[in-house]
Structure 1
Amino acid sequence: MRKTLSLIVVAAGLMALGACSSSTEEKAGAGAVAGAVVGGPVGAAVGGAAGAVAGHVQEDSSKPHS
């Protein structure tokens, strides 16, 4: 129980840090670190991919639509 709680706290902290990222590369890096802490190498790959997608979505939403 104690280990699970500590992992949740660390993951939440890393997600908060990832929210401060401004570029796609920073979001992918923060996602990879958070995924590695929570899920090991597979988590790092999934977290990096999720961060990259989040960065692209944020960049697309900030562009003006015609």
Structure 2
Amino acid sequence: MAMTMVMVMETVKEVIRKRRIRKRRRKSKKRKSQRRNVMKPRIMTSCQHCHQVKNEGSAEQTPPVSLRL
């Protein structure tokens, strides 16, 4: 009977470990999605070529930028 108890305890530990790993994965996924959401607008605003065009105000360079975006 002592052997069966030891076996059960080991399996329980494994289950707990797996559960923890799952939680960790979920958290990392959430973080990644947040990071993506944060990065998207930042890339749009900090597009250096667009800023250059705005600063220069030249009509020749604006069409290719609009196509790129």
Tell me which of the two structures has the higher relative contact order, counting C-alpha pairs closer than 8 angstroms and 6 or more residues apart. Answer: 1
- Asked whether the two chains share a fold, i.e. TM above 0.5, the reply is no
- TM bin (shorter chain): 0.3 to 0.5
